[in-house]
Structure 1
Amino acid sequence: MFGYSMIQTVRNYSKQLDRSLRDDLIHLYRPFKYTPCFLHGLFERKLMRKKKLSVIVQFQPEAYEDGCQQIAEITKKHKNNKLYHYYNRVSCCTADMTPDSLEEMLSTCNHVKKVYKNKEVQALLDVAVESAKAKQVFRNNTALTGKGTKIAIIDTGIYPHQDLSGRITDFVDFINNRTEPYDDNGHGTHCAGDAAGDASASDGKYMGPAPKANLAGVKVLNKMGSGTLDTIMQGVEWCIQYNEDHPTTPIDIISMSLGSEAQSYGEEDRDPMVQIVEEAWKSGITVCVAAGNSGPDPQTISSPGLSDRVITVGALDDRTTANTRRDDEVASFSSRGPTLYGEIKPDILAPGVDIISLRSPNSYLDRLQKSNRVDGDYYIMSGTSMATPIIAGVVSLMKQHNPDLTADEIKERLKSGTDIWVDRDENVYGAGYVNAEQSIPQQINHN
């Protein structure tokens, strides 16, 4: 019985193996009808030494260090084994293990709490948008697409991708003073697609919430993805001035997937970054800002996300399951509140893990991480940077449905329309997980 020992391993240690890993081990079993019995053992030993399983091993918290030391010794002495990363906050490590080393670990290491299959997880943009209930939102027999609204992406620029064709209506460059749209880093292009990609290069697969919204590219970060307070303030100020100069085609939403580590100024409103985004808010622009990627520690909300006025967005891992919340969890990197000034943040969560969006060819990120490319025209990224423009796209739908909504009203409707599936800590989950359908009323109340 080829692989019979794996059946025994599953039987003996079923409580310590997650279902996906148990299934993989069971599928190693193969009855040999036409092979001499004396060869079965040879084939099985070869399988045990050669077959690699990518696993996550979780130890009892109090024995984490001892468990890591023991698995390091086991993987070192077995060929085709490799230990990758340690995660001390969750008492885990990741490794490639062969069945013989896995069996040895389970039989000799009493510190193991659970062994998981290291599954590939991709919260594709089409799944992320569906998960946010922002796909095919209909009101008054019309599909909301963001048409007639404009989103300013204050970032590294925007590459004129096929999925944005004809909709980058404005571009300003505070780094190199170029006039035509470009993105030498790649981050801003991804964010633009998160909000408003129309999926024309993927046959409708990787579509943002607002596929007909117009975009203003505001480049305030350089090729390496960094900038100064000065250039960022210039970018926001440009948006405010733009609306004064173009009252009939204004910028409705600012998406800012950037920030700096917050420092105390005694009072929140003394932070210059907060001051400028709140000026944009007062002018009528709905400002969506990333919470930051410094979680899971508390008080890690970045500036200007610590503003009590703007919409601060955290990232959720929807596990690529659009129609259920049971397995959803806040991304470990997503920054937590309260702010340095004691305010509850973030305001809301949106998908932000392994999001597939637009690729900027030959940009810094594109060359740095070629393995993140998808189907030629797309690219995978994670972060509250990705969650923020998804919220901006949802706001675009809200503004299309009711152009008279104020920024304060939009923020309130987003927060009151969220999905709540856990007894949440508001400084981790905010008001909950965005649900566009629940945030956009069927009828407009003009009273």
Structure 2
Amino acid sequence: MDQVRKKLKADYAHRKRITGRGVTVAVMDTGIAVHPDFDNRILKFTDFTQGRTRIYDDNGHGTHVAGIIAGSGKMSRGIYMGMAPESNLFVIKVLDRKGNGNTYQVLKAIDHVIENKEKYNIRILNISVGMLPTADEEEKKNLMQAVERAWKSGIVVVAAAGNNGPMKNSVTIPGQCRSIITVGSIDDYMGQKKGLKKGYSGRGPTECCVVKPEILAPGTSVKSCSLRGNAYEIKSGTSMSAPVISGALALLLQKYPAMTPAEVKLRLYERAVKLEEAGGRNYWGVVYLNRLL
């Protein structure tokens, strides 16, 4: 995370005391482990897989994602600090220890986020999970409608583009949703070193000819919180890229709390910068915090 923050100039925001304070990010994933880097900022944990009330993560994916967004870096003396180290977390476990889940639980989880939006000041929903291409068409439609509903309720929805690239039209659902912000990996050309194929990041356009993903962010070899006590671990994929942007937007919404999801997306469009490292991909750009803020 030290390299991610440097690349995107997140320290510019932190020096100005823009740290995500007061902004809550909902994380829909495999849960979250008790880790010193989260302090007391996990406002609520809901388990849609087994109905447990105690905070846990039996996979590690959700903890890693949450650390990218909101880790304080306490156990690493700030080295592996997240993008918005004082933001709050609203955690929903929808995936089991193998990373599997079902659409019914995910739909219930999205409704749960919408219902609690005002109480917990949930401004962002991070979805670092996606449907398999073989999923039922009705399930795909229902999930797309659910994230659209969250967006219209005033929540900025950020979804991963998936790791099915580099072929065209390989963005997973719900990342294909026209309204929401979909994030791909800028450094996926290094994927083969980490067990992913070169160019793994999902690419558009979608079937509706919409540019997807709109934004690219680092996603390969990102070191963030581990479910093992006070440790850190490295993971790769667009699942890591999406929370980088969710964290960046928590900073934006701390500075401009009145922004609507549409205004946030327009801001991204206006301030994004294209990089040669992304090759000829059709996307808006990469976000630097000094430009975004």
Structure 2 CA distance, aligned partners of 1:231 and 1:379? 28
Structure 2 CA distance, aligned partners of 1:243 and 1:136? 29
- Verify: 1:335 aligned to 2:202, yes or no: yes
Aligned to 2:194: none
Q: Can you list the C-alpha shifts for 1:203-254, whole angstroms capped at 9, x where unaligned?
A: 110011100000011000011111011111111110001125x1xx321100
**2:132 paired residue among 250, 255, 261:** 261
Point out the more displaced range, 270-279 or 170-179: 270-279
For structure 2, the 5+ residue unaligned runs are: 191-197
- Verify: 1:235 aligned to 2:102, yes or no: no
- Please tell me whether the aligned partners of residues 293 and 383 of structure 1 are also in contact (alpha carbons under 8 angstroms): yes
Structure 1 residues 424 and 217: alpha-carbon distance in aligned structure 2, compared to 1, 3 A threshold:
closer
- Please tell me whether the aligned partners of residues 195 and 208 of structure 1 are also in contact (alpha carbons under 8 angstroms): yes
Structure 1 residues 133 and 264: alpha-carbon distance in aligned structure 2, compared to 1, 3 A threshold:
same
Aligned pairs (5 A) from 1:183-332: 183-243=57-117, 246=119, 249-262=120-133, 271-317=141-187, 332=199
**1:420 paired residue among 264, 267, 274:** 274
Report how many residues are paired: 287
For structure 1, the 5+ residue unaligned runs are: 1-124, 321-330, 363-375, 441-447
- Please tell me whether the aligned partners of residues 160 and 168 of structure 1 are also in contact (alpha carbons under 8 angstroms): no
Structure 2 CA distance, aligned partners of 1:404 and 1:411? 14
Counterpart AA for 2:231: D
Structure 1 residues 339 and 349: alpha-carbon distance in aligned structure 2, compared to 1, 3 A threshold:
same
Q: Can you list the C-alpha shifts for 1:264-318, whole angstroms capped at 9, x where unaligned?
A: 999x997111100010000000000000000111110000000010000001129
CA RMSD of aligned residues (A): 2.5
- Verify: 1:400 aligned to 2:274, yes or no: no
- Verify: 1:385 aligned to 2:239, yes or no: yes
- Verify: 1:133 aligned to 2:3, yes or no: no
- Please tell me whether the aligned partners of residues 131 and 318 of structure 1 are also in contact (alpha carbons under 8 angstroms): no
Counterpart AA for 1:301: V
**1:157 paired residue among 31, 40, 51:** 31
Equivalent residue of 1:255, what SS? strand
- Please tell me whether the aligned partners of residues 264 and 340 of structure 1 are also in contact (alpha carbons under 8 angstroms): no
Equivalent residue of 1:153, what SS? strand
Counterpart AA for 2:182: T
**1:361 paired residue among 205, 228, 233:** 228
Structure 2 CA distance, aligned partners of 1:383 and 1:252? 24
Aligned to 1:97: none
Structure 1 residues 423 and 154: alpha-carbon distance in aligned structure 2, compared to 1, 3 A threshold:
closer
Equivalent residue of 2:25, what SS? strand
Counterpart AA for 1:381: K
Equivalent residue of 2:12, what SS? coil
**1:179 paired residue among 53, 56, 62:** 53
**1:435 paired residue among 266, 288, 291:** 288
- Verify: 1:344 aligned to 2:200, yes or no: no
Residue 437 (structure 1) shift:
1.5
Counterpart AA for 1:242: N
Aligned to 1:93: none
**1:409 paired residue among 263, 268, 276:** 263
- Please tell me whether the aligned partners of residues 292 and 301 of structure 1 are also in contact (alpha carbons under 8 angstroms): yes
